[in-house]
Amino acid sequence: MQFENTLAFAQKLDTEDPLRTYREEFHFPKVNGKSVIYFTGNSLGLQPKRTQKYVDEVMTDWAEMAVEGHFHSDKPWWDYHERLAAPLAKVMGAKTEEVSVMNTLTVNLHLLMVSFYRPTKKRFKILCEEKAFPSDQYMLQSQVRFHGFDPKSAIVEVTKREGEHFWRTEDVLAKIDALGDELALVLIGGVNYYNGQVFDMEKITSAGKSVGAFVGWDLAHGAGNVALKLHDWNVDFAAWCSYKYMNSGPGNASGIYINEKYLDKKDIPRFEGWWGTKKESRFLMKPQFEPMPNADAWQVSNAPILSVAPYLASLEMFEEVGMKSLIEKRKKIVAYLEFILHEIDKQTDGSFEIITPKDRGCQLSVFLHGQGKSLFDYLMKNGVITDWREPNVIRLAPAPFYCSFEDMYRFGQILKNGISSL
């Protein structure tokens, strides 16, 4: 499609957008009395208006029924989390029984490491991407030390090539090959938080499995953003948070995926708690742990309903719209944003550069050559909510659920004014 950098053209794209009405389903913060242009759905998604109803429902049941709400509310709390598995499995490309919702992301990664990082003297190394998200680095380092190994030798990072801003799949595969039977685990952020790159999860998973390692993915930036086929790719495990592209609210419940082949394994190590035991006998309070036949076996505590309810509201929206049409719009709006950026770049003499490779989801990371932080401040003051990453990068993620093509056009105008006025 031939794009144009005009308001009329952007508005035409909006009229043709099958998801256009969903914008009305979200609360937008205001700057100078106007709804912001929101580019940080990769950090905290906007609040869906319907979320309030889901939370109020729990609050009312709690007020009116107290403990009876566990079994007698409309959506009983004791198995409330089970409602999320089926719609979430569709988003993740998994079977319903392979998915569960619990805890928060880094906590879940730690719990999953109990099952999937079982180092031996010979096979103890973990492969991850260089400059992984800090929480993932701390998690990996502490796990390695917990098992008595030295992070310096046990954690191997795939680096980018000199002068390049992205990881090459062939470099990841070569590292896996070279590590061979020393490799215990591959754990990478499937969509990188910094440059927005989508890793070739299918190829990397298959390579990791072929040398006998476990392969897991941190999908914080993947869930609700890109097409995932965790089951078909034969991924061992994955975890993600729900508050980025999935709009569930700050710090809210995380999701896990566990390949079905581990679900009936009696001998798999796991940290256990009462919510992982069979529903039928959970309240018999027997000393013997009998695992749920699905990923719920990894549940530990009774579910935090006020954190899970907003996730259910959000999943209802994903269910209505479907990943296919979200991804279609995402591709188009990101392409339009890229076009606008190139137009403004031409008009402002190469002030910046997009460092996100073609394998991408919603996010374009832009390296600013000129004004840097002052341009970022200008954008924020003028109603563009984006974020700043050292040394000189702003990340722009137009979430397809609520961003409009007109937003992209207006952003371009604000950017141009910012560059020429600073």
Ligand X SMILES: *Cc1c(COP(=O)(O)O)cnc(C)c1O
Which residues are near ligand X by CB under 6 A? 104-106, 133, 135-136, 189, 193, 218, 220-221, 241
Q: Would you say 220 or 344 has its CB closer to ligand X?
A: 220
Nearest CA to 221 out of 60, 45, 3, 421 is that of 45
What radius of gyration do the chain's Cα atoms show? Answer: 22
8-state DSSP, 275: G
Q: Would you say 134 or 391 has its CB closer to ligand X?
A: 134
* Number of other residues whose CB lies within 10 A of the CB of residue 172: 21
Contact predicate 119/179, CB 8 Å: no
State which amino acid sits at residue 182: E
* Number of other residues whose CB lies within 10 A of the CB of residue 76: 15
Q: Which residues pair with 238 in a beta bridge?
A: 217, 257
Please state the closest distance from residue 189 (CB atom) to ligand X, in A. 4
- In sequence order, which residues have a C-beta less than 8 Å from that of residue 261 and are 6 or more positions away? none
Please state the closest distance from residue 373 (CB atom) to ligand X, in A. 22
Q: Which residues pair with 155 in a beta bridge?
A: 126
Please state the closest distance from residue 139 (CB atom) to ligand X, in A. 8
Phi then psi for residue 257, to 5 deg, are -130, 135
Please state the closest distance from residue 386 (CB atom) to ligand X, in A. 16
Q: Would you say 10 or 111 has its CB closer to ligand X?
A: 111
Q: Would you say 106 or 205 has its CB closer to ligand X?
A: 106
Contact predicate 36/43, CB 8 Å: no
Look at phi and psi of residue 409 and say left if phi exceeds 0, alpha if psi is from -120 to 50, else beta. alpha
Whether residue 391 has a cis bond before it, omega within 30° of 0: yes
8-state DSSP, 285: T
Q: Would you say 10 or 105 has its CB closer to ligand X?
A: 105
Contact predicate 408/397, CB 8 Å: no
State which amino acid sits at residue 172: V
Q: Would you say 131 or 231 has its CB closer to ligand X?
A: 131
Please state the closest distance from residue 299 (CB atom) to ligand X, in A. 17
How far from each other are the two terminal CA atoms of the chain, in whole angstroms?
Answer: 33
Please state the closest distance from residue 105 (CB atom) to ligand X, in A. 4
Please state the closest distance from residue 395 (CB atom) to ligand X, in A. 11
Q: Would you say 193 or 378 has its CB closer to ligand X?
A: 193
**23-38 burial code (b ≥16 CB/10 A, e <16):** bebbeeeeeeeeebbb
Q: Which two tokens stand for residue 9?
A: 């053209």
Please state the closest distance from residue 55 (CB atom) to ligand X, in A. 20
Residue written as token pair 């919603």: 362
Please state the closest distance from residue 127 (CB atom) to ligand X, in A. 15
Q: Would you say 134 or 148 has its CB closer to ligand X?
A: 134
Q: Would you say 225 or 277 has its CB closer to ligand X?
A: 225
